[in-house]
Each structure stands twice: as C-alpha cells, then as structure tokens.
C-alpha cells in the first residue's frame, strides 16, 4: 500500500462538497485511490464537458444533489453521511461571474460556509473540516513578498469579498461553537494559488480558454497578458488540503493548525499570463491574440502567496515545477480530446501516481510513511 498521507484515509468516510467541480472531482478520485469511502454533495456539473463525468464511475459511495444555500438539505445530507472528515469546496469560483451574480456569489461562498459548519455542529460530528477559500481573499493582493495568512482580508471584487467573508465565518464558528464543544473536531481553511490541470472547462479561465481555442484551431483570446499569478497544478494544492486534513484530525483542540494555510507554488511559478500561454503553445502549437475589453471588470494585476506557514507547521512544499504542471495539464487535454483515450480515469490515476512518486523522491512529509 502507498505510504501517501501515512495511509490515513484508508476506510475513512470523507464528504466532499462541490464534488462535481474541477478540484472536487480530482480530490474525490484521489481519495478513492487512497482507500476512502467518498461521499459527494453538490449540484450538477457546472460545465459540459466536465471532469466529473470522467471520474464518477466507482468513486462515490453516496452522492447528494443539493444546493449549499439550502440549509435543511445540507444538514440532512451531512447527518446521513456522518463523515469522518469534510472538505468543503462548494463555491461560486469565478471573479467575472461575481459581477453578474453578486447575490448568488455571496450566498454560495459565505452563507454556504455557514450552512456547512452549522450542519456539522448540529449533528455534533467529531470530524475535522477543511474549508477551501482562495488566494484572492486578501485585501492587499499585490504584495511583492507574497500574501501571508496574517494579512488583512478583503478584496476589490464581490468574489474576493465573499471568500474573505467565508474566512471570517470559519474563524467565528471555530471560536464560538467548535472550540468550546468537545464533541466537535477542528476547523481550518486552505487558500490556494491559480490552479491548473486537466479537466477544467470553466469560462473565463486562461487554461480552458487555451484548450478551447486550440481544439477549434483558433487564436487563444488573452484578456490580461501581463497579469502575474501563482500557477500551480491541482494535485499540488490538493496534497496540501489532504495533508492538512490528516494533521488537523490528529491534533489536539488548542492546535495552531486550526487556522488558515496558503498552499501555493514556488516563487519560480509566479509568472505572467503571457508566459503561461507561451509555454502551452510550446507544447501545443497555435497562436494567441489580445482580447481585452474596455470597461471590463477590474482584476488584480499581481498576486502571489507566501507558503512559509505551511512549510513550518505542516512541512508541506510544492511538488511539480511550473513547467511540469503545464506539461501534465496539456498532456491530459490532448489525451482526452485529441487521442480520445477511452480510459481517462486510468490516465488521471497515473498522473496522481507520477505526482506522488515525485513527492516521495523529494522526501516531502505527506509522501512518506511516518511509521518507517
């Protein structure tokens, strides 16, 4: 058996909210590989095509189709599932959509977090809860030295604000309800960088935009070529979430781990959109064209994360370099859409194996057996 995560997830019942989304689907697949009983809570997949349709068969022991904004439905699903651990990923994840649907964005991201924590609290489940927010929850998102977990929360747009509000919800519910009640587990949050990887088909994200254009034989539309982001493969941030779940479950109630954590790439991956597109085009030849629009919603020009806290407290570090992340991402889309591989679940699992082997070779904490 693999030494990954010290075999912690074997036979654990794990609830993933937002399991039909890009990150939720990858997380569910990995959990299943680790031997977990995976349960899902969420809506139908937000895009067509999607990753969920690729990985769904044989992954979930139970699925609940419900809106995270429906407290009664969420509470019933959580009570029925009775998980050992919860990863809360259900969200409205797009900045530009938050301008079009600000109320839905706030209700989903902030109030939805309230509903999930309330469901766990009233069921008095002793499970750890890892809530996934975003690197965009910080007030000053353009710090040269990277945003730190102690920095003020805020953000210019509704999406960033809603995720900052979710972070305040987590802090308040932990102090007010979870910490005083010995029947409940620990709660923490994970803030990731700009996540890339096979299976993302969202609108207004640069990698899906690249893939759609390349498949259609058209130039890639690029809105903000000079914008700098902390690019990381989806498996890198998920390794952080999974390891935080292990450490949070095993920690005592006064643990400093019940707090926010940044999971970002190394500084070498803080690159512009233009550099990302050029690297994709090196692997999949094509062209790009500027697609900026006058009066378009404001987006942060530069954003990067400090991962010092995760390194110090969790001994977590990123695994794949920027180049490796792009290579693995492009390989996944080409495998599905060009080669039309009928076994994309198997291909996805092999990418997880390759990632885990690379982490083990680097002797990262989560990839080693603690008993060895």
pTM of the predicted structure, to 2 decimals = 0.96
Q: Domain-by-domain residue ranges, the chain?
A: 8-289+303-358
What pairs with residue 88 in β-bridges?
A: 17, 131
271: CB partners within 8 A, 6+ apart: 228, 229, 231, 322
CB 31 within 8 A of CB 9: yes
**Calpha distance 210→215 (Å, rounded):** 9
CA triple 319-279-267, angle to 5 deg: 40
Question: What is the chain's alpha carbon radius of gyration, rounded to the nearest angstrom?
Answer: 19
**How high is the pLDDT of residue 302?**
78
- Residue 343: partners with Cβ closer than 8 Å, 6 or more residues away: none
Determine how many CB atoms are found less than 10 A away from the CB of residue 93: 23
The whole-number pLDDT of residue 326 equals 98
pLDDT number for residue 1? 42
**β 228-233/220-222 pair status:** unpaired
Residue 349's φ and ψ, nearest 5 degrees, are -65, -35
Write out pLDDT tens, residues 116-170: 999 999 999 999 999 999 999 999 777 778 999 999 999 889 999 999 999 999 9
Q: Are 259 and 221 in contact (CB under 8 A)?
A: no
What distance in Å separates the CA atoms of residue 345 and residue 328, rounded to the nearest whole number? 15
Q: What pLDDT does 265 receive?
A: 94
In order along its 372 residues, the chain shows pLDDT tens digits of 457 999 999 999 999 999 999 999 999 999 999 999 999 999 999 999 999 999 999 999 999 999 999 999 999 999 999 999 999 999 999 988 999 999 999 999 999 999 999 999 999 999 999 999 999 999 977 777 899 999 999 988 999 999 999 999 999 999 999 999 999 999 999 999 899 999 999 998 999 999 999 999 999 999 889 999 999 999 999 999 999 999 999 999 999 999 999 999 988 899 999 999 999 999 999 999 998 766 666 667 778 899 999 999 999 999 999 999 999 999 999 999 999 999 999 999 999 999 999 999 999 999 987 544
Could you tell me which CATH number the domain at 8-289+303-358 has? 3.40.50.720
How far is the C-alpha of 326 from the C-alpha of 320, rounded, in Å? 9
Largest Cα span, the chain = 59
Of 304, 316, 221, 319, whose CA–CA distance to 267 is shortest? 304
**What's the count of helices (H) and strands (E) in the chain, helices before strands?**
13, 12
CA atoms within 13 A on the CB side of 73: 13
**Alpha-carbon span 172 to 183, nearest angstrom:** 18
Residue 156: per-residue pLDDT: 84
| Six-digit token string for 258 | 């019940």
Give CA separation, 138 vs 142, 165, 268, in Å. 9, 11, 21
- 80 burial type by CB count under 10 A (0-12 exposed, 13-18 middle, 19+ buried): exposed
């Amino acid at each position: 058996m693999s030494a990954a995560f010290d075999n912690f997830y074997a036979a654990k019942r794990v609830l993933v909210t937002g399991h039909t989304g890009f990150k939720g689907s990858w997380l569910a697949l990995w959990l299943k590989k680790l031997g977990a009983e995976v349960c899902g809570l969420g809506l139908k997949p937000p895009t067509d095509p999607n990753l969920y349709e690729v990985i769904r068969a044989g992954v979930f022991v139970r699925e609940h189709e419900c809106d995270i904004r429906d407290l009664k439905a969420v509470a019933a699903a959580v009570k029925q599932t009775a998980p050992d651990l919860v990863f809360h990923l259900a969200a409205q994840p797009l900045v530009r959509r938050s301008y079009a649907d600000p109320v839905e964005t706030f209700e989903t991201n902030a109030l939805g977090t309230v509903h999930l924590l309330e469901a766990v609290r009233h069921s008095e489940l002793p499970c750890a809860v890892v809530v996934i927010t975003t690197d965009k929850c910080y007030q000053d998102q353009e710090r040269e030295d990277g945003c730190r977990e102690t920095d003020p929360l805020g953000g210019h747009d509704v999406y960033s604000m809603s995720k900052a509000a979710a972070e305040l919800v987590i802090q308040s519910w932990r102090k007010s309800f979870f910490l005083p009640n010995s029947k409940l587990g620990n709660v923490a949050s994970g803030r990731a960088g700009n996540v890339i990887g096979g299976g993302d088909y969202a609108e207004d994200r640069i990698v899906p935009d690249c893939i759609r254009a390349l498949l259609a034989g058209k130039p890639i539309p690029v809105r903000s070529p000079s914008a700098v982001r902390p690019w990381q493969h989806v498996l890198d941030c998920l390794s952080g979430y999974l390891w935080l779940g292990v450490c949070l479950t095993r920690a005592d109630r006064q643990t400093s781990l019940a707090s926010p954590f940044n999971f970002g790439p190394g500084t070498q991956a803080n690159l512009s959109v233009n550099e990302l597109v050029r690297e994709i085009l090196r692997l999949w030849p094509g062209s790009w064209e500027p697609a900026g629009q006058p009066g378009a919603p404001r987006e942060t020009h530069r954003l990067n994360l400090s991962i010092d806290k995760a390194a110090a407290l969790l001994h977590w570090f990123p695994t794949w370099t920027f180049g490796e992340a792009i290579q693995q991402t492009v390989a996944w889309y080409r495998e599905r859409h060009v080669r039309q591989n009928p076994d994309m679940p198997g291909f996805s699992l092999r990418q997880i194996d390759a990632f885990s082997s690379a982490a083990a070779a680097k002797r990262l904490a989560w990839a080693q057996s603690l008993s060895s």
